[in-house]
Amino acid sequence: MDIANKDGMFFLPPPVTSALDALEEKGYEAYAVGGCVRDLCRGVTPHDYDITTSATPEEVEACFSGRRIIETGIKHGTVTAIIDGEPLEITTYRTDGEYLDGRHPESVTFSSEINDDLSRRDFTINAMAYSPRRGLRDPFGGREDIEKKLVRCVGEPDLRFGEDGLRIMRALRFASSLGFEIEGETAASIHRNRRLLRLVSAERIYAEYKRLITGVFAARILTEFRDVMFTVMPELECLEGDEYENAVAAADKAGCDVITRTALLLGREENLPALRRLKPDGRTYSSVAAVLRHINGAFETDDVSLRRLLGGVSYENARRIVDARRARGLMTEDEAARVTANLNEMEARGECVNVRMLAVTGRELMELGVPEGARVGEILSRLLEEVITCRAENDKAELIKFAKAMREAQGD
Cα dihedral 75, 78, 80, 81 sign = positive
Question: Residue 49 — φ and ψ, nearest 5°?
Answer: -135, 140
Contact between residue 176 and residue 217 where contact means Cβ atoms under 8 Å apart:
yes
Cα angle 86, 87, 93; round to 5 = 130
Cα dihedral 176, 177, 182, 187 sign = negative
For position 282, what pLDDT does the model report? 96
25 Cβ contact partners less than 8 Å away, ≥ 6 residues apart: none
For position 5, what pLDDT does the model report? 44
pLDDT tens, per residue, the chain with 412 residues: 344 444 457 999 999 999 999 999 999 999 999 999 999 999 999 999 999 999 999 999 999 988 899 887 777 789 999 998 899 999 999 987 665 555 566 667 888 899 999 999 999 999 999 999 999 999 999 999 999 999 999 999 999 999 999 999 999 999 999 999 999 999 999 999 999 999 999 999 999 999 999 999 999 999 999 999 999 999 998 887 799 999 999 999 999 999 999 999 999 999 999 999 999 999 999 999 999 999 988 899 999 999 999 999 999 999 999 999 999 999 999 999 999 999 999 999 999 999 999 998 888 888 887 777 788 888 899 999 999 999 999 999 999 888 888 777 665 5
Amino acid at 272: L
**Residue 270: strand, helix, or coil:** helix
For position 6, what pLDDT does the model report? 40
Question: Residue 299 — φ and ψ, nearest 5°?
Answer: -155, 110
Domain residue limits, the chain: 14-145, 149-232, 257-351, 355-410
DSSP annotation of 29 reads -
Contact between residue 61 and residue 69 where contact means Cβ atoms under 8 Å apart:
yes
For position 106, what pLDDT does the model report? 63
Question: Residue 135 — φ and ψ, nearest 5°?
Answer: 80, -160
Contact between residue 218 and residue 260 where contact means Cβ atoms under 8 Å apart:
no
First to last CA, the chain: 77
Strands 78-83 and 108-110: unpaired
CA 118 to chain centre: 27
Query: What is the number of alpha carbons within 13 Å of residue 323 lying toward its C-beta?
Result: 21
Contact between residue 229 and residue 267 where contact means Cβ atoms under 8 Å apart:
no
The region, left, alpha or beta by phi > 0 then psi within -120 to 50, assigned to residue 31 is beta
Task: Please say whether the structural domain 14-145 has been given the CATH code 3.30.460.10.
Answer: yes
Of 154, 216, 137, which Cα lies nearest the Cα of 189? 154
Contact between residue 151 and residue 188 where contact means Cβ atoms under 8 Å apart:
no
Task: Please say whether the structural domain 149-232 has been given the CATH code 3.90.1150.10.
Answer: no
Alpha carbons 337 and 319: distance in angstroms, whole number: 10
284 Cβ contact partners less than 8 Å away, ≥ 6 residues apart: 258, 259
Alpha carbons 102 and 341: distance in angstroms, whole number: 49
